[in-house]
Structure 1
């Protein structure tokens, strides 16, 4: 029987794949291609999630710094994606590997059918021995350009291909208790088994001129991966052999390890967690929070203490505890106006209110449409 190839997703930030003001970092991409060839020898397939299109395109178009206006950003992304793709193609061909370009938007993945098509395409590319290079389609996606969250895209891709490991190559060697550039007492954290509010608070903002993400987006993505049962690592991209070392089981960077007792998450719930951005949020009381986390219950209106945002029934919502910490994400059974009116009310009160008749006997979010994060 042929041994199953394991799959590694590697996410590369702009500050790693781009030389500031000069475009694609050919030396780094060449090193990555050699690592990909070595991984193939070790029985691993590689999927690359690469930032850097805007940063590659800016110097080509004569910009000396990152533009501020949206049309210029999109123009840089359009030109830079060609530059970046050519660099990947040339380097990987030199190692006998074929690459492909996959551009995704949240408008695509927000639709369940498109999400599944993306999964099928990526899975087939991996089966065919291709190294997909995935990026957000910054030429047309306005909100991703605004907050640059390819860390979430990497988590999405890792779930789509059922990855065995997701690696973020960054300009920092892992997670610290505080930003080490600002706090000399910051301590390195080699392993994380549970992401709580304290871990989230340790994250800082992006400190580079070419990137727009920060450690906070990496931690949030790692939390989703832990929920999906996929281990992830944040480490420095400067180590030329780091991917092979990780494939061999060596401890490098900060490893986020999924809980062993977690049940397998249904693909639909992973889509709820990753496919679309949250369109609002609800805050729940302590009793509701315990029921969601400890018993896997549905969220009832009586447990809701606050509703934020304007949304319709069927929208994806973040579910937060009293401190604002996101516990879960789910699909609302009601619009924001109805839910705000029903918040804190028992089922008999809802049933007796003609304005809330549509919610009578319904939860705010059904457990089948709710994913509780690890």
Structure 2
């Protein structure tokens, strides 16, 4: 649990399966739930960056596909449709509550080159200082396999480190990290507090099981490792639970909290860039 007596800089990541219906369409109810929780945090004076998946899942039916595309061109075409649908929903919901939303589409190349890395940081900082909600996603429309993040879990951790976030909230369709696969064992136990990613922790990481998402538990653990190395507290929880973001930041939600006992080894952005991106 972290103190909320001062304004916090919070990065929230939400996966595709937590934003869309089982048929692959955008769920207005799910997006509205998330937006309302972010508005609550904004009204308290906190800065929030949203890393949102869902572009491909939201757009593939509008493309005329009956199931999620498997070829890269179809995925990119679906993303070009779905990203607009996502931003339209977010913009409308935030504006109705007095906040402006901004879209930032990132590729891995933006983090590999130091000047572009610095430019992304500067842009997000200006938006946050002006009270705007940056909404980040990988630019799936133009990225290629060898130059993509692969999942927004990793992207969210790198964004959190980039802007010196206090807190990273990763939302999915699971309650947190278990000591074994909860879909296969009734004895699976939720790990509520983790201070170190051990080989046992990594072996406990299992896939998501969602057809709409791209990042399973292993990708989340990799993201947590980046965040912990940057000194950022991370919470992993189920997006469907009531007030999950708010309660997660307060340290009272059901889920897994990751906080390293060791201080970050990186004292500036140059060191972080070299460690995680160069």
State TM-score, norm by structure 1: 0.70
Partner of 2:134: 132
Higher RCO structure (Cα 8 Å, ≥6 apart): 2
Alignment of 1:316-335 (within 5 A): none
Partner of 1:238: 240
| Superposed displacement of residue 220, structure 1 | 0.9
Q: Is the Cα–Cα contact under 8 Å of residues 108 and 149 in structure 2 kept in the other structure?
A: no
Partner of 1:67: 69
Three-state SS of the structure 2 residue aligned to 1:113 is: helix
| Superposed displacement of residue 246, structure 1 | 2.6
More deviation, 264-273/181-190: 264-273
Q: Is the Cα–Cα contact under 8 Å of residues 171 and 237 in structure 2 kept in the other structure?
A: yes
| Counterpart selection for 2:179 from 177, 180, 199 | 177
Three-state SS of the structure 1 residue aligned to 2:51 is: strand
Distance 1:20 1:127 in 2: 37
| Counterpart selection for 2:249 from 242, 247, 251 | 247
Q: Is the Cα–Cα contact under 8 Å of residues 228 and 265 in structure 1 kept in the other structure?
A: no
Is 1:204 the counterpart of 2:209 in the alignment?
A: no
| Counterpart selection for 2:274 from 254, 272, 275 | 272
Distance 1:233 1:82 in 2: 28
Q: Which runs of 5+ in 1 are unaligned?
A: 277-374
Three-state SS of the structure 2 residue aligned to 1:24 is: coil
Q: How many residues are aligned here? A: 274
Distance 1:83 1:243 in 2: 23
Distance 2:225 2:118 in 1: 22
| Superposed displacement of residue 262, structure 1 | 4.3
| Superposed displacement of residue 244, structure 1 | 1.8
Partner of 1:31: 33
Q: Is the Cα–Cα contact under 8 Å of residues 111 and 277 in structure 2 kept in the other structure?
A: yes
Three-state SS of the structure 1 residue aligned to 2:124 is: helix
Q: Is the Cα–Cα contact under 8 Å of residues 226 and 259 in structure 1 kept in the other structure?
A: no
Distance 1:63 1:206 in 2: 23
Alignment of 1:23-172 (within 5 A): 23-143=25-145, 148-172=150-174
Distance 1:63 1:244 in 2: 36
Q: Is the Cα–Cα contact under 8 Å of residues 32 and 240 in structure 1 kept in the other structure?
A: no
Three-state SS of the structure 1 residue aligned to 2:248 is: helix
Q: Which runs of 5+ in 2 are unaligned?
A: none
Distance 2:86 2:199 in 1: 37
